[in-house]
A and B are shown apart, each in its own frame.
Chain A
Amino acid sequence: MISPDFIENDALAIGAQIRAGRTTARDVMRRTFARIRRVDAGIGAFTRLCESRALADAARIDARVAAGEDPGPLAGVPFAVKDLFDVAGLATTAGAAMRRDAPPARRDAAAIARLSAAGAILVGTLNMDEFAYGFSTENAHYGTTRNPHDAARIAGGSSGGSAAAVAAALVPLTLGSDTNGSIRVPAALCGVYGLRPSIGAVSADGVFPFVESLDVAGPFAASLDDLELAFRILSGRTTPPAPALRVGRLDGWFRRNSDPDALAAMDAIAEHLGHVPLVRFPMAEAARSAAFLLTASEGGRRHITALRHTPLAFDPATRDRMIAGLLLPDDVLAEAAAIRERVRAGAARLFARHDVLIAPATPCTAPPIGGGTIEIDGRPANARANLGLYTQPLSLVGLPVLTVPIRRPGRLPLGLQFIGAPGGEAALFALARQIEQAGIIGVTPPQALSC
């Protein structure tokens, strides 16, 4: 039984129906807000709704269609953004209680403006870890975002609201940000597509920073078509058809501790493509540690004034990590920065021989809220603390990564990373289409939610 507030979770289809006059943007908004109110109480993806703004935008889209104009490929498509994108008239909280009363943003973030110019309609802001520092979206101030596939489990983070909103079909398109894996981890755990673009491909204007040398804004969607269109609109870049792709599977660090199902999916891809050699990513373990250290230090430095004057206003988990980062000696940070340059050079050599590399996105499925243990190198370890095991080495050097959901109906989602050279997003989309057609990857709607 499909409820009357259900909207097909397909941005292109919604846009096409509105442009053809088969439905209206106002009707899509009415059904969107009805579904959010009905379903999100059990998920906690949204932090604020922009209903009056959305309805006004919808009326303008409908008027343009009625006048014979084309509002753009995303005409009337509802979207939402992680709560660190500036939204005109709202405080940009970055998931922090101390920013609840910050001065309202004067204008929308550039990424929101681009989607709006293509006809999309902003409907709200989405939950996240405080200041984007975390992989779980268990926010002490704004609540926990639950995984639509199992409400007892986390959605991942820090863009947990962005992934959960798409997985629960609340909106077909969202924006998040990725510093160490904050798009890739929640996309994998919620079973949707997520893109960490190349550094600089999507404007960071109006996006609250965390670690500026690592931060990237990017989209989540329930289909490759929607994700690719969103990337084109956000970046202004085209994604032309890629020639024959040279694909490799990451070995070593990226197979150690992996969920066997992720490795099986990588093997299935290798079998489908014919020749996908196992290759090593340079200094993967050291790269992850360097990312960890640089993040703790830069995150702490960014917030040192608040840590000095109002430390108890922070989420305790964020605060304690940032304070520890502030105590790191400079020589350690110099060593971490040197590792980054060596990894960058090694990655360039690797991508001279390959167009796309494949790796697991996370070492496990979504852990339970508040806990969960996995085995790392034969020892029990905190699952949440290790969710970035495979994402952090890659973002240290700014590689674009498309996270794809392994097709596994009836089981908790798991994802893979398709990794490219800087500027190599077209190859990532080309490979993903091929592998999706082979039935190895694809979105499975949550069984826990009634449509």
Chain B
Amino acid sequence: MDKGDLPGDATACAARARSIDLDIPAVCMVGVLANLAVLQTHIAIVRAAPMQDDDD
């Protein structure tokens, strides 16, 4: 995986997973998408970090 945002829906999620030879079972998709949403919030915080003072 090189660059880009996280997939935001089931179709994009399945396609991204197939690119690393991973098939996401249908029963897992809701949980995976929920976790991707959590990760997206952490990505936003990390990307905002250069705006922060190093000593918080």
A252-B56, A346-B55 are known contacts. Are A323 and B43 too (CB-CB below 8 A)?
no
Q: In whole angstroms, how far apart are the Cα atoms of A286 and B45 in the complex? A: 6
Q: In whole angstroms, how far apart are the Cα atoms of A143 and B27 in the complex? A: 22
Q: Whole-angstrom distance from the CB of B25 to the nearest CB of chain A?
A: 6
Chain B residues 30 to 56 lying within 8 A of chain A, measured CB to CB, are 31-32, 34-36, 38-39, 41-43, 45-49, 52, 54-56
User: Do residues A293 and B56 form an inter-chain contact, with CB atoms below 8 A?
Assistant: no
Q: Whole-angstrom distance from the CB of B55 to the nearest CB of chain A?
A: 5
Q: Which residues of A lie under 8 Å from residue B31 when comparing CB positions?
A: 316-317, 319-320
| Most-contacted residue by chain B among A304, A316, A320 (CB, 10 A) | A320
Instruction: Report the stretch among A157-165, A167-175, A327-335 that lies at the interface.
Output: A327-335
User: Do residues A324 and B35 form an inter-chain contact, with CB atoms below 8 A?
Assistant: yes
User: Do residues A327 and B54 form an inter-chain contact, with CB atoms below 8 A?
Assistant: no
A374 on interface, CB distance cutoff 8 Å: no
User: Do residues B25 and A342 form an inter-chain contact, with CB atoms below 8 A?
Assistant: no
Q: Which residues of A lie under 8 Å from residue B1 when comparing CB positions?
A: 327-330
A280-B55, A329-B2 are known contacts. Are A320 and B35 too (CB-CB below 8 A)?
yes
Smallest CB gap from A324: residue in B: B35
Interface, chain B (partner A; CB < 8 A)? 1-7, 13, 16-17, 20-25, 27-28, 31-32, 34-36, 38-39, 41-43, 45-49, 52, 54-56
Q: Which residues of B lie under 8 Å from residue A349 when comparing CB positions?
A: 55
Interface, chain A (partner B; CB < 8 A)? 252-253, 280-286, 288-290, 292-293, 296, 304, 307-308, 311-312, 316-317, 319-321, 323-332, 335-336, 339, 342, 345-346, 349-350, 385
User: Do residues A284 and B56 form an inter-chain contact, with CB atoms below 8 A?
Assistant: yes
Q: In whole angstroms, how far apart are the Cα atoms of A320 and B33 in the complex? A: 8
Q: Which residues of B lie under 8 Å from residue A317 when comparing CB positions?
A: 31
Interface pairs (28), CB distance under 8 Å? A286-B48, A286-B49, A289-B42, A289-B45, A290-B46, A292-B42, A296-B35, A307-B22, A323-B17, A323-B22, A323-B28, A323-B35, A324-B6, A324-B32, A326-B17, A327-B6, A327-B16, A328-B43, A329-B1, A329-B3, A329-B4, A330-B3, A331-B4, A335-B47, A336-B46, A339-B46, A339-B49, A350-B55
A283-B56, A286-B46 are known contacts. Are A329 and B5 too (CB-CB below 8 A)?
yes
Please report whether the interface of chain B is mostly helix, strand, loop or mixed according to DSSP: helix
Q: Which residues of B lie under 8 Å from residue A296 when comparing CB positions?
A: 35, 39
Q: Whole-angstrom distance from the CB of A302 to the nearest CB of chain B?
A: 14
Q: Whole-angstrom distance from the CB of A11 to the nearest CB of chain B?
A: 39
User: Do residues A346 and B20 form an inter-chain contact, with CB atoms below 8 A?
Assistant: no
Q: Which of A282, A324, A328 contacts B55 (CB 8 A)?
A: A282
A307-B22, A323-B24 are known contacts. Are A283 and B52 too (CB-CB below 8 A)?
yes
Q: Which of B5, B34, B43, B45 contacts A285 (CB 8 A)?
A: B45
| Most-contacted residue by chain A among B34, B41, B52 (CB, 10 A) | B52
Q: Which residues of A lie under 8 Å from residue B46 when comparing CB positions?
A: 286, 289-290, 293, 332, 335-336, 339
Known: A327-B1, A327-B17. 12 other contacts (CB 8 A): A285-B45, A286-B45, A286-B48, A286-B52, A293-B46, A296-B39, A308-B23, A323-B28, A324-B35, A331-B4, A332-B43, A339-B49
